[in-house]
Structure 1
């Protein structure tokens, strides 16, 4: 893993430690959440800026089950400045029950931050995710891009929840196959 990316993950994790597992007041996790349907590859279509992903494109997340029942999280992005993939592996656990889309995720030791799935398409094709406050937002999709009309709709949902949608970053997804450890 790129040393700078690792340092940024550590700094990001420490920042999340302060708030741990809360969520913004305008955001409520989805109910009837089905982890098995959520597992697999997701592409980052939009995000708010934060240090641990700054400068990365072709960002994806891959979720699978660890032997201990927790969720393995592999975040990956292309660092064009370093001309290499940067990857961080973490672990997520449910805050309450597995049918509520509120998890805590850690990329650094015992320090966890909120991961709140607050909007999810019925077919699990698109998810809107928040951190512990309105500074953390991700629009994830099973496909690398979305039609403009759909994208506008999701941005409107995020705006109504209080996120600063004028500051969204739309990472390039120009690498057809985002690599995972399995196919490197």
Structure 2
């Protein structure tokens, strides 16, 4: 990368970071409610593919269906992250975003999808595992500012009881589950 292309790239990245920071003010969570995380999270059991069942609306997943997240261990003790979504319906083209996650504290991870700027602290986003079922079949993930949150499952469908339990976790962490949008998924 030449100096001529480096400066516009930094400027564009600064705009993306500023937009992300301004989105934090419009969260889906009462930040006065303390958050709890799954402190005994077993990362080796968390690895693998998760289907996105529900999410709080966000700009980077707008129009995404059939969303999955696949986590795998790396030799440097970090975690590879590959998020996939289908555009234009469940039969539409697949888009993938590759990133990396690191553990900050038990149940608290940070993710980065801007590898060439990973040295900048502002390119890392919070990813807190609020709850995971005993059999690691359902997980609830959120962010301290409440700008994002997800209900994930190991299969593309989730029963009403499991969905209600996951929403209850969000509610107890200050989220408004009524703002969730269900994510269309393909059948296995």
Q: TM-score, normalised by structure 2?
A: 0.77
Alpha-carbon offset, residue 153 of structure 1: 2.1
SS at match of 2:181: coil
* Larger helix share, 1 or 2: 2
Aligned to 1:103: 109
Q: Which runs of 5+ in 2 are unaligned?
A: 1-11
Flag the structure with larger Rg.
2
Count, aligned residues: 162
1:66 and 1:153 map into 2 onto residues whose CA distance is 32
Write out aligned runs for 1:26-45 (5 A). Answer: 26-45=34-53
1:72 and 1:123 map into 2 onto residues whose CA distance is 22
Aligned to 1:91: 100
Runs of 4+ in 1 over 2 A off after TM superposition: 10-14, 16-19, 23-26
Q: Deviations over 1:5-58 (max 9, x none)?
A: xx9xx9479616998xxx955212211211110000101011000001111010
Q: Deviations over 1:114-153 (max 9, x none)?
A: 0100111111111110123112110011111111122122
Aligned to 2:20: 15
Q: Which runs of 5+ in 1 are unaligned?
A: 1-6, 177-184
Aligned to 1:180: none
SS at match of 1:163: coil
Write out aligned runs for 1:134-145 (5 A). Answer: 134-145=146-157
1:72 and 2:84 correspond: no
1:18 and 1:55 map into 2 onto residues whose CA distance is 18
Question: Given the superposition, is the C-alpha separation of residues 48 and 13 from structure 1 closer, same or farther in structure 2, using an over 3 Å criterion?
Answer: farther
Residue in structure 2 matching 1:118, options 130, 134, 143? 130
